[in-house]
Amino acid sequence: MIIYHRITRVVDRRQAFGKEEKEQFRTYMRMYENFSGCRVLSYCLMSSHVHLLLEVPPMAAGGLTDNELLQRLRAIYNRAVVAEVAKELAELRQQVKDGLADESLVRELHERYTYRMHDLGQFMKTLLLRFSRWFNTRHERTGALWESRFKSVLVEDGLAARTMAAYIDLNPVKAGMVADPAEYRWSSYGEAMGGGAIGNGKKARAGLVRALMAHKGYEADARHWAGSVSKDYRMHLLDEGEEKLKEVVGASGKREVLVVRKGMKKENVEAELARLERSGDVALGKMLRCRVRYFSDGAVIGSRAFVDEVFRSCRERFGEKRKDGARKLRGSGAAAAGALWSVRDLRKGIGRGCVRPE
């Protein structure tokens, strides 16, 4: 499988997205996900930028059946357009059956739409363009909405994908917008936790299952979410959900405890963290609270073997003196050193603290 972490920013990094904009972006995101065949494994829609963890599966060897094509088209086209394509397909199939047309004409009709499927560039291009048109109309503006420069990181399945998904879902917590990532409705975890058993939230749960468990053969199926998968992922998101308390001296001279930030009770967090410690994941959990540049600038994230394999396949892009690809994570990413590796050696500005979200 091929997974990418993609960060796209609003031009001039303006705080342009409120509730309505985030809802509309998510609507278009799901529409083009259903159309393209690309999977959104994890996401977070912030006020000035968007995080997407995307899987780009290859097109099936035999292509799409006519029914599958029409189903994909229904995701972004209205009934009249789909009905016209269905009619054209039926007519061509009959002509082929009668010996009046060649099968290549049917393939050409399919390719009119499938060239935009199973392709990261096409997915992002069509999604951002569709949203830009809506946004400009809604706000009576013209011009570019997105910065032309974007960040894209290739991510290995397994530990790397799980860590990246958690990093994305913790963005609103690191920005001080919520105390618990489950409270932020415009993220994969918030959607997964807020949705019901049927329909709403199902897509987010399926994406997270794939992000967390693809290395064990799990498909994007929301039925796997309940139980150990959701519990294990919760462990990765614990630290920033803890209630923050402050002891002060009141007007009467007595000491009082004030709740500085609402969240999960400290004793509950400590109990869960104790279980985490036994699994050896506490250091990674603490790392996820920080701004880790490797997650946006590392280019390739994964095991040493995975990064070296990508390096060998793209050898011509590197200098002659470089012998291998994998580089240990440093600074705020050091907790994952030896478990996760990057193709870039980010020696400068790698420990920028644990406040500003990326």
Which of 223, 218, 118 is closest to 161 using CA atoms?
218
Say how many domains are in the chain: 2
Identify the weakest region by mean pLDDT among 57-61, 189-193, 248-252, 287-291: 287-291
Is beta strand 151-155 parallel, antiparallel or unpaired with respect to 300-302?
A: parallel
Which of 226, 194, 229 is closest to 210 using CA atoms?
229
* Whether residue 9 has pLDDT greater than 90: yes
CA distance 245 to 267: 12
* Whether residue 216 has pLDDT greater than 80: yes
CA distance 154 to 162: 13
* Whether residue 319 has pLDDT greater than 90: no
CA distance 24 to 35: 17
* DSSP element (H, E) containing 171: helix 171-174
* Whether residue 315 has pLDDT greater than 50: yes
Residue 76 within any structural domain of the chain? yes
Residue 271 within any structural domain of the chain? yes
Please state the pTM of the whole predicted model: 0.79
Q: How much is the average pLDDT of 308-337?
A: 82
For the beta carbon of residue 34, count every other beta carbon within 10 angstroms: 15
* Whether residue 115 has pLDDT greater than 50: yes
Residue 316 within any structural domain of the chain? no
Tokens representing residue 294 in the block: 């490797």
* Whether residue 327 has pLDDT greater than 80: yes
Residue 83 within any structural domain of the chain? yes
Distance separating the N- and C-terminal Cα atoms of the chain: 25
The mean of the pLDDT values for the chain is 84
- pLDDT tens digits for range 145-178: 999 877 899 999 998 999 899 889 988 887 878 8
Give the domain range for residue 254.
Answer: 241-279
Report the share of the chain in percent with pLDDT over 70: 84
CA-to-CA dists, residue 119 to 33, 71, 107, 194, 263, angstroms? 11, 18, 18, 30, 40
Residue 251 within any structural domain of the chain? yes
Residue 260 within any structural domain of the chain? yes
Q: How much is the average pLDDT of 174-183?
A: 81
What is the distance, to the nearest Å, from the Cα of residue 325 to the centroid of all Cα atoms in its chain?
25
CA-to-CA dists, residue 23 to 17, 20, 186, 310, angstroms? 10, 5, 8, 36
What's the pLDDT at 347?
A: 66
CA-to-CA dists, residue 115 to 58, 118, 126, 344, angstroms? 12, 8, 12, 32
* Whether residue 140 has pLDDT greater than 80: yes
What is the DSSP-derived secondary structure letter of residue 252? T
For the beta carbon of residue 24, count every other beta carbon within 10 angstroms: 17
Residue 88 within any structural domain of the chain? yes
What's the residue count for the chain?
358
Q: How much is the average pLDDT of 170-193?
A: 86
CA distance 236 to 331: 20
Residue finishing a domain among 114, 145, 173: 114
What's the pLDDT at 270?
A: 67
CA distance 302 to 161: 8
Residue 78 within any structural domain of the chain? yes
What's the pLDDT at 280?
A: 47
What is the distance, to the nearest Å, from the Cα of residue 117 to the centroid of all Cα atoms in its chain?
18
* Whether residue 279 has pLDDT greater than 60: no
Is beta strand 151-155 parallel, antiparallel or unpaired with respect to 255-261?
A: unpaired
